[in-house]
Amino acid sequence: MKTLKGPGLFLAQFMGDKPPFNSLKSICQWAKSLGFVGVQIPTWDSRCIDLQKAAESKTYADELKGLVNECGLEITELSTHLQGQLVAVHPAYDTLFDGFAPEQYRNNPKARTEWAVQQLRYAAQASQNLGLNAHATFSGALLWPTVYPWPQRPAGLVETGFKELANRWLPILNHFDEYGVDLCYEIHPGEDLHDGISYELFLQHTNNHPRACLLYDPSHFVLQCLNYLEYIDNYHERIRMFHVKDAEFNPTGKQGVYGGYQNWIDRAGRFRSLGDGQVDFKSIFSKLAAYDYAGWAVLEWECCIKHPEDGAREGAPFIKDHIIRVTEKAFDDFAGTGSDEKFNRAVLGLK
């Protein structure tokens, strides 16, 4: 067994226009002061990283890594959640997702997709230059508008959708393989990879690609009423990243999973700060330790009630206290009598 690393902090929800949140150095110093030992970097935020430069210049990558190290932290992983979303976009969402791309690629879905794919390719190279072995992203979605279909889905639609999704991602997965980096999809509503079954469909269409791995975030499974502990049993061999995020689901006689189009604070399912929701983190950390998960535990703050700075301040010790330092010996070793093949055969009554 291995002791997982952490606590880490995903910077995406904390970057801002005012100090200490407006530069990589200052936000790293702030994170360190709270007790974090790693940061996960959103690659779409130029205040954190120049992704193309990190891919093309080992010198720049070393300088970036050095800046973070000087603050007493490590880079846990890079993230291309927004760019990954744009690898596959249903036309119904073109206008909404255009804002994820630079202005020159908007109102041009083909150019936007090409830009997103190149961003993923840069991310593979940048990850290798930074000495990282896992990367976070979204799958994008072609089928999501039909997730609860009315009228019914045409026969073969799901097959066609996943075949196209795989065609778009296979070259990217192969590129990550060339650079020795696992591509970890966050299984998430709004993505075609939103639960275990949809992930398995993707694996089928990508020939079980060894780099098609998982970012585990239990909060999204609480809101789907999916068994998030059994999920670890099913997919632990593919889990390479872990977002530590809490959630709660409190259905009423008026609303359930879909939330009635309400704001987050009024929904039955809500994201919460660590310890304020319903996620059984003791069991999660125990399962990950038992399955030899060797990656990072990274706080992703998304709470509809608590201030983010309070969520971060409380989150670092919460994660630290849940990390299990795994044992190197069995509890009953003291009673061991030693053995060899001859002794074992004698115990079994064999000659």
**pLDDT attached to residue 331:** 65
pLDDT at 312 over 80: yes
Where does the pLDDT of residue 178 fall: very low under 50, low under 70, confident under 90, or very high at 90 and above? Answer: very high
Q: What is the pLDDT of residues 4-14, one digit of tens each?
A: 999 999 999 99
3-class SS of residue 131: coil
Where does the pLDDT of residue 335 fall: very low under 50, low under 70, confident under 90, or very high at 90 and above? Answer: low
**pLDDT attached to residue 47:** 97
* Backbone phi, psi, residue 343, to 5°: -65, -45
**pLDDT attached to residue 333:** 65
Mean pLDDT taken over the chain: 96
C-alpha dihedral sign at 285, 289, 290, 294: positive
pLDDT at 334 over 60: no
3-class SS of residue 270: strand
CB 306 within 8 Å of CB 245 = no
CB 184 within 8 Å of CB 214 = yes
Q: What is the pLDDT of residues 57-97, one digit of tens each?
A: 999 999 999 999 999 999 999 999 999 999 999 999 999 99
Q: What would the mean pLDDT of 95-117 be, rounded to a whole number?
A: 97
- 14 DSSP 8-state letter: T
At position 130, the amino acid (one-letter code) is L
**Distance from first CA to last CA of the chain, Å, rounded?**
36
**pLDDT attached to residue 314:** 98
**pLDDT attached to residue 270:** 98
Which DSSP string corresponds to 163-212?
A: HHHHHHHHHHHHHHHHTT-EEEEEP-TTSS--SHHHHHHHHHHTTS-TTE
**pLDDT attached to residue 342:** 85
Q: What is the pLDDT of residues 187-220, one digit of tens each?
A: 999 999 999 999 999 999 999 999 999 999 999 9
High-pLDDT (> 70) share of the chain, %: 97
Distance of alpha carbon 168 from alpha carbon 39, whole angstroms: 29
Q: CB atoms < 10 A from the CB of 212, how many?
A: 26
**pLDDT attached to residue 2:** 87
Q: What is the pLDDT of residues 245-295, one digit of tens each?
A: 999 999 999 999 999 999 999 999 999 999 999 999 999 999 999 999 999
Of 67, 42, 72, give the one whose Cα is nearest residue 136.
42
**pLDDT attached to residue 311:** 98
List strand residue ranges (DSSP E) for the chain, in order.
Answer: 5-10, 38-42, 74-80, 134-137, 182-186, 212-216, 239-244, 246-249, 269-272, 296-299
* Backbone phi, psi, residue 166, to 5°: -65, -40
Q: What is the pLDDT of residues 246-256, one digit of tens each?
A: 999 999 999 99
3-class SS of residue 294: coil
pTM, whole model, 2 decimals? 0.95
In the chain, the domains with their CATH numbers are 5-347 (3.20.20.150)
pLDDT at 337 over 80: no
pLDDT at 108 over 60: yes
